[in-house]
Amino acid sequence: MTAIDRSAIHGSRRVVVKVGSSSISGDAAHRIDTIVEAIARAHERGTEIVLVSSGAIATAIPFLDLGGRPNDLATQQAAAAVGQNVLMWRYQTSLDRFRILAGQVLLTAGDLENTTHRSNARRAMERLLGLRILPIVNENDTVATHEIRFGDNDRLAALVAQLIGADALVLLSDIDTLYTKPPSEPGAEPIRHVAYGDDLGGFEFGSVVVNSVGTGGAATKVSAARLATAAGIGVLVTSADLVDAALSGDDIGTWFAPNPEPAAAPVTGPVRTVGEAVAADRLGA
């Protein structure tokens, strides 16, 4: 049953949780335990969780002595191959405490555009959930190219939520809620609730590139929330440190209310870059 407000997340049958690179890599790697503990509590009360996790490339940076996020595609792909392995090891090591097994699901944009691939991806995740395994989804950066990438895992998470018929989507960020403008600027006000169809054109949602290890930011979360809510999936945006409160249905973060009358629609459309998606969102597309 679709979560119509934050409080309904606690009793939801199926929830997609997305976490970004900056929240779980480098000095923030300890936060994996926090996220896993919250997922384990939700898992114990019967909620099916799918985790969409960025961080493969960022995780590999110190192992490869790169000094920062690589700019060329070949090095990004190599870093993703190394980092994905380490990232999954970290998740599984943390999950072992709760006797939960993770299953890795790597997707490209083409996988969700191709009918057969999309059906196979859905079938695989449904089976993983049926076996009480935690699917951990990431973009397959090792084989993806600039032309076919999702662009950011917020969009990927929204598409996965549609793919598996999730009741809610939780987008974890570095801040506890979205603001009317970057929170460091004077006059920034927290946004607590966004009704479906609300015009957000007057707000400033910051830059697409947020740090040296990942892409995204508030603008891509708003764009992803619009994509998910149009399909009838409620979306909560909040801090990764508040993941347990988010899955418990506490009154935190920014809640995007779902479309009360979602029309049947494909889980994906033309693949856009982050910049294109953000520009389209600002135009109301």
Q: Which residues belong to the annotated binding site for ATP?
A: 18, 173-174
Point out the annotated binding site.
Answer: 18, 54, 141, 153, 173-174
Angle at 62 between CA 96 and CA 69, to 5 degrees: 110
Point out the annotated binding site for substrate.
Answer: 54, 141, 153
Q: Which residues pair with 234 in a beta bridge?
A: 168
* Distance between CA atoms of residues 169 and 51, nearest Å: 10
Radius of gyration for the chain, computed over Cα atoms and rounded to the nearest angstrom: 17
Contact, 247 vs 170, CB < 8 A? yes
Using alpha carbons, select from 151, 140, 79, 85 the residue that is nearest to residue 108.
140
**With 0-12 CB in 10 A as exposed, 13-18 as middle and 19+ as buried, what is 52?**
buried
One-letter amino acid of 160: V
**Chain-centroid distance, C-alpha 230:** 17
**Chain-centroid distance, C-alpha 107:** 13
* Distance between CA atoms of residues 73 and 56, nearest Å: 14
Q: Which residues pair with 135 in a beta bridge?
A: 103
Contact, 38 vs 247, CB < 8 A? yes
Contact, 98 vs 42, CB < 8 A? no
